[in-house]
Amino acid sequence: MNLNPAVQKLINYIQSIPKVLRRFFITITLLIVIWKIVYLLVLPPRILDAPLTHIISKQTIWVLNLFGQSKEYTYEWDVLHDTILFKNNSKLIIADKCNGLELILLYAALIIAIPAPIKRKVYFIAGGSLLIHCVNVLRCCGLAILKIQNSYLFDFAHHFLFNFVLYAVMMVLWYWFAQEKKDANAAPL
């Protein structure tokens, strides 16, 4: 069969990638595609986001009240997001895309794609998801404090700094998982 030289070059390149890496990237891709299909086409809207966003909001308020003035932060629910209200009449909106769900699922997919014993994967997914969630609550607390102070750093912290911290935590956990001794007979799923 005569293939286009560019196609043949691509095939040769793909075949030159070690089998373990190809399997890893195929697994990650399949998991993400399956998740997106289920999330966007099968599940009812906000079935996972609404409770998680609500939990993030409530825990953010709890932490802020724990370290701040009592009852300074209150909660208001809306159909599309949660809102944290402050005494100075400013507010912090916690949207679904800020609840950490996608990051936790990406982290879980990275763990699932690496060959290791199932028990170890479950521990790392559960523990890592909890840590990512807690860091996300602290991120929301930091954003709330910046919002209260009307800080010019709010947008930078929201879009760059705190997101970098969350992704760094996820990658350190994944690296730690990948560096541990793996069972040679373990399946990737």
User: What is the C-alpha separation between 161 and 139, in angstroms, rounded?
Assistant: 9
Identify whether residues 106 and 170 lie together within a single domain.
yes
28: domain range? 1-43
Number of independent structural domains in the chain = 2
Residue 70: the pLDDT is 44
Where does 41-100 have alpha helices with state H?
49-67
Identify whether residues 20 and 99 lie together within a single domain.
no
Q: What is the pLDDT along the chain (189 residues), one digit of tens a residue?
A: 678 888 889 888 888 989 988 999 999 999 999 999 999 999 998 899 889 988 998 898 889 888 774 455 666 666 667 777 776 677 888 888 889 999 999 999 999 999 899 999 999 999 999 999 999 999 999 998 888 887 789 999 999 999 999 999 999 999 999 886 555 455 555
Identify whether residues 37 and 54 lie together within a single domain.
no
Residue 151: the pLDDT is 79
**Run of H or E residues at 91:** strand 91-95
Model confidence, pTM: 0.82
Identify whether residues 74 and 145 lie together within a single domain.
yes
Identify whether residues 20 and 62 lie together within a single domain.
no
On whether residue 189 sits in a domain, the answer given is no
Identify whether residues 150 and 170 lie together within a single domain.
yes
Identify whether residues 107 and 123 lie together within a single domain.
yes
Q: Which residue has the tokens 């997106």?
A: 36
